[in-house]
Structure 1
């Protein structure tokens, strides 16, 4: 009976140095992108690394103060808009030694705390928190421990950087588009905010405020109609059912996110109505499926790819200079009209 083969030995920095015929110090400098390493040395060491399949030991690097890992917490993995953010984030980190590790926050404060604490315990070099719902006190506690960038939350903090969309303008873009088409009974489906302390920071609340302000500015205050559910497909479905059951139903629905709009379209079809002939629908995020021809959803583009790229750039800057002043980036949204909106009959 043959003996089982023993596992192959892990390639070390000493093996790389011998293969490249250089010192271990030279290999270490190349791995750290240290100043003063010649192009020739870079080439020799990188070639040896590729030929041997060397991978740095993350635990050992952590003991030296850096793990080259970045933790990214996102609310869920269902909403395709988060994939756009991740795409820009990972592209921005391309060519660096950093590896992204994901953790879903599951839209709950307790789970967000569990994920962020796990990332801190694993000595990650930095964290990007996408649309966190945790209290500012918790976010600032995290940021005081590890360099942090918060995506999607409004407001300034002395401890973490922020990247967000101008949601107030985005909400107004939808209302003005629908009003210009001739709609007056324009309804909105928002994500119900349970914590009054978050109203000034959460994108869903600011998006709804943009809707209200624009309705008032267009002289349509009497037609403000909001269904508060959740930013999910089921939330959109339930919200649309509420709106369609009104004694006078709206002629247009502004869903606070594209994923919500998918539920709205489902409820409208179930009611035997057509989009946009009977009712217009607009979303927010301009996700990939919004452009699919059978859907053709009018939506607000908040540049998810750019949001992710900005977040990664800010985090790398903060890792390199932890004492620098915090930065806030706010992107300007644009409306992308498609076939789901049209003048009312």
Structure 2
């Protein structure tokens, strides 16, 4: 064992030396019983060696309060996640504090200060920016944490809840291929996000299963919002050989595709079939109602909340990553392609 260190070590350093996760060290430090005897002995030996006192005080009393944190709250799917969290929290007698950090470091730091003042039972993160800005601070905290639909591999060693994005993308492509479409475009979310890449990969796999290849010229990147769907679809419809169908990786971008079709003097689905992703309430009110891949957002929020409450009660979570199934919901925005090309209608 290395020579003792005169400075106060952090639990991050202890975790690295012990070869375990930071939350595991935190559980040992806080006297939690959901750690194996061998791991506890190794961690406690290092804590003693470095002069880090192990607190054996009983776990603090429950505040019956959950912190739910988003990057932004201006997306309709955020409301669905809040609804799922609220249902579970209410049934457990807990309140919910909803915050948005807007991707700004100062907002994230202010939120962290407020979190410590509230002494919440735990945190649900529906964000990637906060993880980048305050990852070290959260690692040092003993507050339970669950990530909802992480944009990539969560840098925080925490349980996460997501959806089967790849399977959803494959189902969308397979549906369009079965209708007879061969030139199927993709309007995706930001490529830096794992969920965006998974939906695109699923789309590609759905085409390949039918012996087709995704044309790179039919792929555009958006940001999940309507304006980006509009821009992408305008570019696609202006091609010499435009697509006969589009799979948009969000319902909001799909509505942007609708607008591009309208501006080109065309119609959905007669001239262009459109599939979205999310199955937000607005999908049923679109004209025509939107065929889409249902992402169980409320269920994701509820599952994450139940997981967080289990952690707050000191129980171990058996599955660190949970993915809920997506399902294709067929409505009126998809149909077999016309025998003529869109270029004849311009």
Greater displacement, 239-248 / 275-284: 239-248
Match of 1:183, SS state, is: coil
Name the structure 2 match of 1:49: none
Aligned pair count reads 275
Q: Is the 8 A contact 1:302 1:333 kept in 2?
A: yes
Name the structure 2 match of 1:142: 138
Over the aligned positions, Cα root-mean-square deviation in angstroms equals 2.5
**What is the CA-CA distance between 1:117 and the residue it aligns to?**
2.1
Name the structure 1 match of 2:148: 151
2:212 counterpart of 1:214: no
Name the structure 2 match of 1:188: 186
**What is the CA-CA distance between 1:81 and the residue it aligns to?**
1.7
Name the structure 1 match of 2:258: 265
**What is the CA-CA distance between 1:118 and the residue it aligns to?**
4.0
**What is the CA-CA distance between 1:86 and the residue it aligns to?**
1.3
Structure 1 gaps, min length 5: 1-63
Q: Is the 8 A contact 1:159 1:326 kept in 2?
A: no
Q: 1:222 to 1:84 in 2, by over 3 A?
A: closer
Q: 1:163 to 1:276 in 2, by over 3 A?
A: same
Equivalences for 1:79-98 in 2 at 5 Å?
79-98=75-94
Looking at structure 1, the residues matched to 271 and 248 of structure 2 have their Cα atoms a distance apart, in angstroms, of 16
* CA displacement 1:271-328 (0-9 Å, x = unmatched): 1110000001110011111112634000111211211110110000011116656622
Name the structure 1 match of 2:232: 239
**What is the CA-CA distance between 1:127 and the residue it aligns to?**
0.9
Name the structure 2 match of 1:120: 115
**What is the CA-CA distance between 1:112 and the residue it aligns to?**
7.0
**What is the CA-CA distance between 1:262 and the residue it aligns to?**
1.4
Displaced runs of 4+ in structure 1, greater than 6 A?
none
Q: Is the 8 A contact 2:184 2:214 kept in 1?
A: no
**What is the CA-CA distance between 1:236 and the residue it aligns to?**
1.0
**What is the CA-CA distance between 1:137 and the residue it aligns to?**
8.6
Name the structure 2 match of 1:177: 175
Looking at structure 2, the residues matched to 321 and 165 of structure 1 have their Cα atoms a distance apart, in angstroms, of 26
Q: Is the 8 A contact 1:191 1:231 kept in 2?
A: yes
Looking at structure 2, the residues matched to 230 and 293 of structure 1 have their Cα atoms a distance apart, in angstroms, of 20
Looking at structure 1, the residues matched to 336 and 163 of structure 2 have their Cα atoms a distance apart, in angstroms, of 28
